[in-house]
């Protein structure tokens, strides 16, 4: 394999991002919420072992039914028309080929709870052969299935009572709980609830069963720990060795999980009696996502160096299995490693890493040299074809949701570039009718006079002689970033479509600009980030004369919601504010969250040890200065930032007689996910901004 270094130019005049065609086409219309709900949400690519096909799942939204249903699809690896693989009404996801390519497994909601299903696969026609059948029947449900590389076993996830004797015992306890008239819960330790649900004293474990012996499941990771730990998606946190004999997995065994980010990598035998895993990682921070090299010589994983910090740099660790030694392969690379995959010859690792609003693809050879960028775009879900000639991945942009693409990485003597090739076109028909706008990048001197990057999107049908109101979006995290990517929850194209300029600033604390820049927000929530936002707004007003300074709205969620609350007490520049799921009182937010490590890192300890810092940056202590009309949004099931934060803010605004409204979701968490709730969210948010900043 020969890698030729490529930077895929996405530059437009005055922009670093290339987007959809010119908005002058009269056949196009501004983006609408209904358009967004028509888009298929394409999952990760799963190439067939023979290299002919790519299978994937894709979610369809039914707005009227208020449902999101995933189906299995298949497309030629060379690209072309995709088609449904399994014509059922069931929710189906996570397809995985057997190593010989003759069988396919997936997760199905044909039953409740979910189970793993299987079908024979015909490589010649790219179709399922025979009737799909259920292969797990565990009472606690099954998900996350992978094949062992020898094709003999299937490993899957299930949440069980750690002290249950067997599946019958799990079922008995679940039945008792569901039938009981008493719904009270008793807690004896922290992390009793997480994200949107209570733990119910269960643990996620990995089970194994013979591929040809369904019903004989065996727990590989017994004990009172989650395997893997809670995560919000992404690459699997477990893998099986190429010889099928060993399982590598991620778990956190610290005593107080609510204050710990210390995920570790463990090894366990696939056969024989279950035993405590052997720990091979050494970092006090977050180690995760083990991936075996195809030759079985190494295991690679991502690692954070610092304990308690969830946004530390993710380095790439390579572990030599025979010697039991590991090294940091990206110690001099100042970006965090994202999705990663070995080349089939085990001589290199490809990975994504955020950089200035993109997530390019990089290649790291095993020669000790720094990684090289091979494609500049926003990529994820990297996976090679078995022959190593093609690298498949998910690709997004500011103007289009995820589609599957590939890089043909076999040596091309006459070419100096590796050009991404589109494999799927699931949303072309819808997007071809939409007047999407390019994203323009700018930089300005922010806090401490460091360069800070921002982006703007102009409205459809833009006329430079007119004045436009501004939607000033503030990202969450706070260690996150705006960029050339897609979201259904805070979609910049949708915000711009109703006649607004949209601005986004990657303030101090954002990712993709080096770890020092990311670190700079911790302990300084209302400091440098606030300065960056105000200086960014100054720059925008000075540089873009078409912006109406008298009609500007600030809008943010999570940390962005916190900053919206901070703005309330520190500036009167905005005509209105939208605060979604934000911290209002830093001390009460500490006592009502579940992930205590977050607050303790960001505010340098618990409140009783560092009360001064909590109070220095608590928006509620500046309430006497609140004047700006504010929409408050919060969900009852938000356990990251408890709904009480939103109630406190709304109560304060009402008592101060500041024009205010609250949008409360009893059935949503930190994110608004249900289709009709999402429609109400966009309508309420946009109506609020229109009320104060709309057309004169």
At the top level of CATH, the class of 1-7+329-435 is mainly beta
The DSSP result for 239-305, as a single string, is: EE-TTSSEEEEEE---S-GGG----EEEEEESSSS--PPEE----SS-EEEEEE-TTSSEEEEEE-S
Say whether pLDDT at 18 is over 60: no
User: What's the pLDDT score for residue 26?
Assistant: 63
- Please check the confidence at residue 12 and state whether its pLDDT lies above 90: no
Q: Could you give the 3-state DSSP secondary structure of residue 196?
A: coil
Distance, in Å, from the CA atom of 451 to the CA atom of 444, rounded to the nearest integer, reads: 6
127-137 pLDDT, tens digit each: 999 899 999 99
**Contact assessment for residue 52 and residue 74, using Cβ atoms and an 8 Å cutoff:** no
Q: What is the dihedral of CA 319, 320, 326, 331, to 10 degrees?
A: -70
Instruction: Give the model confidence (pLDDT) of 491-520 as tens digits.
Output: 999 999 999 999 999 999 999 999 999 999
Structure-block tokens of residue 403: 């589609």
DSSP assignment of 429-498: HHHTTB----EEEEEEE-GGG-EEEEEEEPPTT--TTS-EEEEEEE--SSS----S---SSS-HHHHHTT
Please report, for residues 31, 149, 216, 231, 473, the alpha-carbon distance to residue 106 in angstroms, rounded to integers and kept in the order given: 34, 17, 18, 20, 38
Report the alpha-carbon angle 264-355-236, nearest 5: 30
615-639 mean pLDDT: 98
Q: Any residues with CB less than 8 A from the CB of 676 and at least 6 apart, and which?
A: 63, 66
Q: What would the pLDDT profile of 641-688 be if each residue is shown by its tens digit?
A: 999 999 999 999 999 999 999 999 999 999 999 999 999 999 999 999
Total residues belonging to the chain: 696
pLDDT at 364 over 80: yes
Dihedral-angle region of residue 333 (phi above 0 means left; psi in -120 to 50 means alpha; beta otherwise): beta
The answer to whether the CB of 478 falls within 8 A of the CB of 525 is yes
Instruction: Note the pLDDT of residue 418.
Output: 79
Backbone angles phi, psi at 9, to 5 degrees: -75, 125
Contacts with 418 (C-beta within 8 Å, 6 or more apart), sequence order:
3, 4, 6, 374, 375, 407, 408, 409, 412
**Which of 284, 322, 323 shows the shortest CA–CA distance to 304?**
284
Q: Is the pLDDT of residue 103 over 70?
A: yes
* Letter string b/e over residues 541-560, b meaning 16 or more CB atoms within 10 A of that residue's CB: beebeebbeebbbbbbbbbb
Q: What is d(CA 120, CA 51) in angstroms, rounded to the nearest whole number?
A: 17
Share of the chain above pLDDT 70, in %: 95
- Per-residue pLDDT of 378-411, as tens digits, reads 999 999 999 999 999 999 999 999 999 999 988 5
DSSP labels, 81-113: --EESS--SS-EEEEEE-TTSSEEEEEE-SSSS
Q: Is the pLDDT of residue 138 over 60?
A: yes
Q: Is the pLDDT of residue 4 over 90?
A: no
Topology classification of domain 439-693 = Rossmann fold (3.40.50)
What was the pLDDT predicted at 411? 56
Q: What are the pLDDT digits (tens) for 140-163?
A: 999 999 999 999 999 999 999 999
User: Per residue in 592-622, pLDDT tens?
Assistant: 999 999 999 999 999 999 999 999 999 999 9
Least confident segment among 61-75, 94-108, 304-318, 399-413: 399-413
pLDDT of residue 8: 29
The CATH number of the structural domain formed by 31-173+205-219 is: 2.120.10.30
Integer Cα distance of 619 and 328 in angstroms? 40
pLDDT, tens digit (0-9, with 9 covering 90-100), for 433-492:
999 999 999 999 999 999 999 999 999 999 999 999 999 999 999 999 999 999 999 999
Please state, in angstroms and rounded to a whole number, the distance separating the CA atoms of residues 260 and 252. Answer: 8
Same fold, 1-7+329-435 and 439-693: no
Mean pLDDT of the chain: 94
| Section 269-274 average pLDDT | 85
Instruction: Give the mean pLDDT of 215-242.
Output: 94
Instruction: List the end-to-end C-alpha distance of the chain, in Å, as a whole number.
Output: 61
Q: Which residue has the tokens 């436009």?
A: 468
Say if residue 25's pLDDT is above 80: no
Q: Which of 149, 156, 65 is nearest to 108 (CA)?
A: 156
pLDDT band at 5 (very low <50, low <70, confident <90, very high): very low
3-state class (DSSP) for residue 52: coil
Backbone angles phi, psi at 169, to 5 degrees: -65, -40
Q: Which pLDDT score is estimated for 692?
A: 98
Domain residue extents for the chain: 1-7+329-435, 31-173+205-219, 439-693
Q: Across-strand partners of 552?
A: 470
């Amino acid at each position: 394999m020969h890698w030729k270094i490529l930077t895929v130019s996405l530059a437009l005049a005055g922009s670093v991002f290339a987007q959809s065609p010119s908005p002058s086409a009269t056949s196009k219309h501004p983006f609408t919420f209904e358009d967004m709900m028509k888009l298929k949400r394409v999952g990760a690519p799963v190439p067939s072992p023979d290299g002919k096909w790519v299978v994937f799942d894709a979610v369809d939204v039914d707005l009227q039914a208020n449902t999101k249903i995933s189906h299995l699809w298949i497309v030629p690896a060379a690209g072309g028309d995709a088609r449904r693989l399994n014509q059922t009404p069931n929710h189906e996801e996570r397809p995985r080929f057997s190593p010989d390519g003759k069988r396919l497994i997936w997760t199905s909601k044909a039953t409740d709870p979910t189970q793993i299903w299987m079908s024979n696969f015909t490589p010649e026609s790219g179709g399922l052969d025979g009737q799909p059948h259920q292969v797990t029947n565990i009472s606690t449900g099954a998900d996350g299935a992978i094949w062992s590389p020898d094709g003999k076993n299937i490993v899957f996830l299930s949440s069980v009572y750690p002290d249950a004797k067997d599946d019958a015992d799990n079922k008995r306890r679940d039945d008792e709980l569901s039938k009981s008239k008493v719904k009270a819960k008793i807690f004896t330790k922290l992390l009793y609830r997480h994200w949107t649900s209570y733990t119910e004293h269960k643990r996620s474990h990995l089970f194994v069963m013979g591929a040809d012996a369904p019903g004989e499941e065996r727990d590989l990771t017994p004990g009172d720990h989650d395997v893997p730990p809670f995560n919000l998606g992404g690459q699997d946190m477990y893998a099986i060795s190429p010889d099928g004999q060993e399982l590598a997995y991620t778990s956190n065994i610290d005593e107080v999980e609510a204050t710990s980010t210390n995920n570790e990598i463990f090894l366990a035998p696939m056969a024989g009696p279950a035993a405590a895993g052997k720990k091979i990682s050494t970092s006090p921070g977050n180690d995760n996502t083990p991936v075996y090299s195809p030759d079985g010589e190494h295991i690679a994983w991502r690692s954070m160096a610092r304990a308690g910090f969830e946004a530390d740099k993710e380095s790439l660790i390579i572990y030599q299995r025979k010697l039991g030694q590991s090294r940091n392969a990206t110690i001099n690379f100042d970006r965090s490693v994202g999705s990663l995959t070995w080349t089939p010859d085990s001589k290199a690792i490809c990975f994504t890493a955020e950089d200035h609003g993109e997530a390019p693809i990089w290649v790291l050879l095993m020669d000790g040299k720094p990684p090289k960028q091979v494609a500049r775009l926003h990529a994820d879900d990297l996976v090679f074809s078995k022959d190593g000639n093609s690298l498949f991945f998910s690709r997004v942009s500011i103007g289009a949701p995820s589609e599957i693409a590939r890089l043909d990485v076999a040596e091309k003597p006459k070419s100096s570039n590796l050009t991404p090739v589109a494999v799927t076109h699931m949303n072309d028909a819808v997007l071809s009718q939409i007047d999407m706008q390019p994203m323009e990048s700018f930089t300005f001197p922010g806090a401490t006079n460091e360069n800070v990057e921002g982006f703007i999107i102009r409205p459809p049908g833009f006329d430079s002689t007119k004045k436009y109101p501004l939607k000033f979006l503030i990202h969450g995290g706070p260690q996150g970033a705006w960029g050339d990517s897609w979201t259904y929850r805070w979609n910049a194209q949708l915000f711009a479509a109703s006649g607004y300029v949209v601005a986004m600033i990657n303030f101090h604390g954002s990712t993709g600009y080096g770890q020092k820049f990311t670190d700079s927000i911790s302990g300084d929530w209302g400091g440098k980030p606030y300065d960056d936002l105000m200086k960014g707004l100054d720059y925008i007003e000075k540089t873009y004369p078409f912006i109406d300074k008298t009609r500007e709205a600030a809008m943010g969620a999570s940390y962005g919601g916190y900053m919206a609350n901070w703005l309330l007490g520190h500036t009167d520049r905005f005509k209105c504010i939208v605060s979604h799921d934000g911290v209002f009182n830093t001390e009460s937010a500490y006592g009502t969250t579940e992930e205590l490590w977050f607050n303790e890192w960001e505010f340098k300890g618990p409140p009783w040890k560092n009360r001064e810092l909590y109070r220095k940056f608590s928006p509620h202590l500046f309430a006497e200065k609140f004047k700006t009309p504010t929409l408050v949004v919060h969900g009852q099931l938000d356990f990251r930032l408890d709904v009480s934060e939103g109630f406190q803010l709304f109560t304060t605004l009402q008592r101060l007689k500041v024009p205010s409204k609250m949008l409360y979701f009893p059935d949503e968490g930190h994110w608004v996910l249900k289709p009709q709730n999402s429609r109400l969210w966009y309508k309420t948010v946009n109506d609020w901004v229109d009320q104060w900043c709309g057309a004169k």
